[in-house]
Amino acid sequence: MNVFKDKTILVTGAGGSLGSVLVEKLLNLKPKSIRALGHSELPLYNLVERVNHDPRVRPILRDVMDLDGMRMAMEGVEIVIHTAAVKSVDIAHYNALHAIRTNVDGTINIVKCALDSPCFERMIFISSDKACYPVSLYGATKMLGEGILNWAQSISKSKVFCCTRSGNFYGSLMSVLPLWEQQAKEGKPLTITDRGTKRYFIKINDMADFVLEVLSGARGGEIFIPRKEIMKEYRMVDLANKISKRHKIIGLRPGERLIEPLWTQEERSGVSYNGKFYTLNNPFTKKHY
């Protein structure tokens, strides 16, 4: 069933790598309108150009930290895909208050608007594997975001709130791969934090398909994790070798660790696999206040 047909959909972070691909894919699902929300004008302008000024895409220049602004943006919205965030571990570390206001307070603002709206139906929050046993401020904000969505589900009987948890995106401008390519082009050694570092990677196109698939079938309270056929774990040194054999070890940065797990030991008993993706069911969402 196409749950997006004839619906008014809000995509936050719509000018970003994942958000812009989601907007393009949603257009093929025949929505009534897509409110493409972002806090920067140029990415929204580029998105409008990419979709050939499709009248169903309405660029909304707004910040998720602005509750009054989000109330206006959310009026009449039935589905929310929340990708907006401060996504860099380093930038979040050095801009802690801004990262918290964006990633946590911004998520609270959207959930408040959703709970208050009589026409709202479902929302998905894009989390990260760094939410497991977080050792960085960024990971902690994503853990809190998951908790906010689970709390919203626990007090709502008719609305659906769910999350995805994934690794890094291939093709993202903020991933390490473009940096390595630039370093190789300039004849420099590739900077690697540690030879033992491993990371999960998923293509942006595959992630967008996954988000739309799980959001369509979500019942509420789940954290969905892509199957390992489309999200694979790589040794970072092996990825670097595909670009250049010249490396420079710089050591782990603040908030970084060797391996990022997909779920915690405590969550393991709640993980199920249906052949297409993993589902982590939160027991606290089975009872309503």
Catalytic residue numbers read 130
Strands 8-12 and 33-38: parallel
Q: What CA–CA distance (Å, rounded) separates 204 from 286?
A: 32
Give, as one character, the DSSP assignment of residue 101: I
Are 127 and 223 in contact, with CB atoms under 8 Å apart?
A: yes
Closest CA to 161 of 173, 148, 171: 148
Nearest-angstrom CA–CA distance, 204 and 265:
28
Could you please report the per-residue DSSP string of 162-185?
A: EEEEE-EEET-TTSHHHHHHHHHH
The answer to whether 149 touches 223, Cβ cutoff 8 Å, is no
DSSP letter at 76? T
Q: Which residue has the tokens 């409008």?
A: 48
3-class DSSP state of 72: helix
> Distance between CA atoms of 229 and 193, rounded to whole angstroms?
26
